[in-house]
Amino acid sequence: MGRADGPLNLARVYYKEGRLEDAVAALERAARLDPPAPRWTFAWLNGLVDKQTGNLDKAIEDYRSILEDRYPELDRRKFDFSKDYEVINELGQTLFERAKQERSAPDRYRQFLTLAAEQFNRTLELDSENVAAHYNLALIYEALGDEKQAAEHRRLHERYRPDDNATDRAISLARRGNKAADHAAQSDCHLPAATARSARPSQRQ
């Protein structure tokens, strides 16, 4: 029908299915339509695809645009993604991956590691118990040779990470105590956290 929603949502599906070439083609179609897709949604999906296809510099640009750009439509709809720590974490992870490409250039390697650490520390200013931030900071500070900081974030990651065994036990007990709920429950209802996170910016259409 000439709307961007169709190819944009196809891009979401293709990305989740791992069909990255199809996702790229769908995003290209969405970009040509008028009215265009919301800039933040387009940038988010492009960032996810660019990261998976190894186009890390473009993914970094995409994520930064979500966090930093201001334009009339955002103001009109009272949207502000600058404190969306899911996007901040994606940027941090992408910068971390970019650092690994610079291992043969020590200065550039440390530069990207430092930029990645800045993003995860920014997340902790918003959510001091963010497990992904502590986990990545432990790895980054270890790579930077700061064992004291690495050890502290490993400790905090261990403190805040969910107890999977306790969660599974609680679910099992609840289902045994409620036959109707047990019958209605389906294993595929529990999506991985990464899947839930990937929808955040694109929910605001």
Is residue 204 within 8 A of residue 41, CB to CB? The reply is: yes
The two most distant CA atoms of the chain are separated, in Å, by: 60
Ramachandran sector of residue 192 (left: φ over 0; alpha: ψ -120 to 50; beta: rest): beta
Within a 10 A sphere around the Cβ of 74, how many other Cβ atoms?
A: 16
Q: Which residue has the tokens 């920014």?
A: 122
| CA angle, 38 then 19 then 50, to 5° | 55
Q: Which residue has the tokens 């107890």?
A: 163
Burial of 149 (0-12, 13-18, 19+ CB in 10 A): middle
| pLDDT at residue 170 in the model | 58
| pLDDT at residue 191 in the model | 35
Sign of CA dihedral 43, 44, 47, 53: negative
| pLDDT at residue 185 in the model | 59
| pLDDT at residue 181 in the model | 58
| pLDDT at residue 35 in the model | 83
Helix axes 147-160, 131-144, angle to 10 degrees: 160
Is residue 138 within 8 A of residue 147, CB to CB? The reply is: no
Within a 10 A sphere around the Cβ of 140, how many other Cβ atoms?
A: 27
Omega before 72 cis (within 30°)? Answer: no
| pLDDT at residue 200 in the model | 56
Of 75, 79, 27, 32, nearest to 49 by C-alpha is 27
| CA angle, 155 then 96 then 48, to 5° | 115
| 34 secondary structure, DSSP code | S
| pLDDT at residue 192 in the model | 35
For the chain (205 residues), the mean pLDDT of every run of 10, in chain order, is 88 96 94 87 95 96 96 91 96 98 97 98 97 98 98 97 66 66 52 39 56
Q: Which residue has the tokens 């261990």?
A: 158
CA atoms of 91 and 93, how far apart (whole Å)? 5
| pLDDT at residue 37 in the model | 84
